Structure 1
């Protein structure tokens, strides 16, 4: 199974780019962020014609997340728990072919300090709380998306001009480190520990042409799924296409035959529910 994450930066504007990528790379599952469209504006027919089912949660002009899959996804939830007043479309979960897929678009947090950065950190705390039981789930789980976090200085071409950016702040990095410490495996870094890999190049100062990028799109695997990791990479060619998003799709290849077997429940205990049953 190939699972990818792609911040499309406007699904209406980038639909030709998205469809070209789907046709060429054929991911089994694609987690999308920054749809920038209402639910009724999602191009469901075009996605279906490309061979994919889809579940999504849109929002006018900004945010918005979706999960595309060749097998029909079963929605688990469409919001991150912890704040009923939060109306941002940043989270969606679905069960796909036995894998619990979580798609996120974590807040950017700029400018910082300020209310946007405070919201970013509060959202991160909710994420850490929600994912804690998932890392030890009896089901394989992946959390894929745009985390708006540069984990270390190795994950950016040059940190000097970004020192005040919310993506590099110590509080942001500490949250990501605490998330990983639960037991999640950062797939790209696991397989490429000494290679500078980027997933985002902004539109200014010829960052793409100079390969002046950042790694902010991540796929995290829980303990059940991590043994299935075969390959991970970035489809950088997508960033070089006309009218491209400032992100490139990031992906993992999984051998589901190697998914760690679930531990049999002890006598007198009840097994945890399947992802499709959680609400």
Structure 2
């Protein structure tokens, strides 16, 4: 059985609903697990019925106007963990974990951060350290885990369109890369880079100045997998169909899709 797992920062489910539904019906009809970030709506106002018509069950962990994550599944689930078990950091709803069979899916929207020394800069680093503790306390690298989302970090210089221009900026600072790599070192593989070690491929482009048309972007959205899950990996790709358009208005991110075989 093939399983398609997708990560997509939609930058508001209300603003992007029509685009996502059209994309699912016209372009990517066989996505089994769709992980959304920045849904920006209260859980009770999420458009559950629209996705149910396409065969998805939606698990949502969100809040009004900011943040929020959702996992839409065409497979059965047997466990859900909302948040990271920390009252302070879970005020911003950023992490949702679900299990189907023996496969864990962890959907993440990491903080954007700010310039070095600002409050949001420290919040991002502190959040990452607390998130790392959550991963260590609740999971094992020997389990089948696929973790996806917008991590707001470009891991390497190849992951930004101009490494010199963007050096030491938000998303490329060494300390940001370090806290992200600590999670990978625990037991995750960057699936895209594993398959395509030398390929430049971005997932986010600024709205300003037509950056997407010049491909001036960053790779900050990832599909990560533990060793037992990587063994089932067949492909990873970025679908820019939803991004390179003016109507319906796109998100500033593109979906990242992982294809796995016999993982459940």
TM-score of Structure 1 vs Structure 2, range by shorter chain: over 0.9
TM-score, normalised to structure 1, is 0.87
Question: How many angstroms does 1:256 deviate by?
Answer: 1.9
Instruction: Give 5+ residue unaligned stretches, structure 1.
Output: 260-279
- In structure 2, what is the Cα distance between the partners aligned to 1:45 and 1:109? 34
Residue 31 of structure 2 aligns with which residue? 27
Q: 1:255 aligns with which of 231, 242, 261?
A: 261
* Structure 1 residues 62 and 75: alpha-carbon distance in aligned structure 2, compared to 1, 3 A threshold: farther
Question: How many angstroms does 1:164 deviate by?
Answer: 4.7
1:220 aligns with 2:224: yes
Query: Do the aligned partners of 1:54 and 1:72 also contact (CA within 8 Å) in 2?
Result: no
- In structure 1, what is the Cα distance between the partners aligned to 2:76 and 2:21? 18
- In structure 2, what is the Cα distance between the partners aligned to 1:65 and 1:236? 21
- In structure 1, what is the Cα distance between the partners aligned to 2:171 and 2:78? 32
Question: How many angstroms does 1:182 deviate by?
Answer: 1.5
- In structure 1, what is the Cα distance between the partners aligned to 2:88 and 2:178? 25
Q: 2:103 aligns with which of 91, 99, 102?
A: 99
Aligned residue pairs, count: 256
Residue 251 of structure 2 aligns with which residue? 245
Question: What secondary structure is seen at the aligned counterpart in 2 of 1:160?
Answer: coil
Q: 2:125 aligns with which of 93, 114, 121?
A: 121
- In structure 2, what is the Cα distance between the partners aligned to 1:230 and 1:208? 27
Q: 1:79 aligns with which of 79, 83, 86?
A: 83
* Structure 1 residues 112 and 21: alpha-carbon distance in aligned structure 2, compared to 1, 3 A threshold: farther
Residue 167 of structure 1 aligns with which residue? 171
- In structure 2, what is the Cα distance between the partners aligned to 1:58 and 1:74? 20
Residue 11 of structure 2 aligns with which residue? 9
Show CA shifts across 1:130-156 (max 9, x none). 22363424x311110000000011101
1:187 aligns with 2:194: no
- In structure 2, what is the Cα distance between the partners aligned to 1:75 and 1:41? 23
Question: How many angstroms does 1:18 deviate by?
Answer: 1.1
Question: How many angstroms does 1:74 deviate by?
Answer: 3.7
Question: How many angstroms does 1:97 deviate by?
Answer: 4.3
Query: Do the aligned partners of 1:135 and 1:184 also contact (CA within 8 Å) in 2?
Result: no
Query: Do the aligned partners of 2:141 and 2:188 also contact (CA within 8 Å) in 1?
Result: no
TM-score, normalised to structure 2, is 0.92
- In structure 1, what is the Cα distance between the partners aligned to 2:62 and 2:180? 25
Superposed CA RMSD:
1.6
- In structure 2, what is the Cα distance between the partners aligned to 1:202 and 1:235? 17
Q: 1:235 aligns with which of 227, 239, 260?
A: 239
Question: How many angstroms does 1:100 deviate by?
Answer: 0.6
1:141 aligns with 2:145: yes
Decide which structure has greater strand share: 2
Q: 2:206 aligns with which of 184, 193, 202?
A: 202
Query: Do the aligned partners of 2:157 and 2:163 also contact (CA within 8 Å) in 1?
Result: yes
Query: Do the aligned partners of 2:39 and 2:68 also contact (CA within 8 Å) in 1?
Result: yes
